[in-house]
Structures are given as structure tokens and as C-alpha cells.
Amino acid sequence: GDSVTQMEGPVTLSEEAFLTINCTYTATGYPSLFWYVQYPGEGLQLLLKATKADDKGSNKGFEATYRKETTSFHLEKGSVQVSDSAVYFCALSEGTGGFKTIFGAGTRLFVKA
């Protein structure tokens, strides 16, 4: 079945460092891909998305490119801030009848001042 694998955390970075969180997926069709962010005590928020191969999703300085050849959707940010500390979830959505989404396990990011 479909699945999402993302790098284990926690990831600890200093402010202004470069961030990469790896995500790979397996799917039988042509899924849409997403990154969600969860801040403490809150629900998940959609951060960015890409619906077809080679699409780049971007938001708030974060980027991810849909790579069909490597089945990857790695999250990157050039300069992280303390306020980026959160848990990041990679996800895919495929199929019909409700568009069920498969989430990765989440990667916790700590950014130190």
C-alpha cells in the first residue's frame, strides 16, 4: 500500500542554519504531496503542497519539489528561525471517494537562538 517515510528526529539546528527534512513515498498512482506543520498544542497546518511531478511548493520560506524519479519530496529552508521549531509531517493523498491522506511519522525540529 501507499506509504510515506521521513527522517527521524529530532533535528536540532542553530538559528539561520539551512534545513533539510527528507521525505520519500511509495504510491501506486500519481499522488498529491504535502508538508504539514504542527506547533505545540495545536492541530496540523498545511504548509505547502505539490500536485504533479516537478511542481515546487513553497510557503513562508519553505520549499519542496515533487521528484517522481526519486519518489521524494524533501523539505528545505535556507535560514531557520526559532519560531520554526515544530513537528513537520510529510503526507500524500491519492485515490477517490474522500481523498484519504497518508501521513509520515513526523520530524521534530528544534531551532536554538
Partner 1 sequence: DAGVIQSPRHEVTEMGQEVTLRCKPISGHNSLFWYRQTMMRGLELLIYFNNNVPIDDSGMPEDRFSAKMPNASFSTLKIQPSEPRDSAVYFCASNQDRGFGYTFGSGTRLTVV
Query: Which residues of this protein are in contact with partner 1, per CB under 8 A?
Result: 32, 34, 36, 42-46, 49, 51, 89, 93-95, 97-101, 103, 105-106
Q: How far is the CB of 62 from partner 1 (least distance, A)?
A: 14
Nearer to partner 1, 6 or 84 (CB): 6
Nearer to partner 1, 80 or 92 (CB): 92
How far out from the chain centre does Cα 46 lie?
A: 9
Q: How far is the CB of 81 from partner 1 (least distance, A)?
A: 23
Nearer to partner 1, 17 or 63 (CB): 63
Torsion on CA atoms 84, 105, 18, 86, rounded to nearest 10: 10
Phi, psi dihedrals of residue 34, rounded to the nearest 5°: -140, 155
Contact between residue 15 and residue 85 where contact means Cβ atoms under 8 Å apart? no
Residue appearing with cell numbers 520560506:
61
Nearer to partner 1, 74 or 104 (CB): 104
Burial class (CB within 10 angstroms; exposed 0-12, middle 13-18, buried 19+) of 55: middle
Q: How far is the CB of 14 from partner 1 (least distance, A)?
A: 26
Q: How far is the CB of 72 from partner 1 (least distance, A)?
A: 19
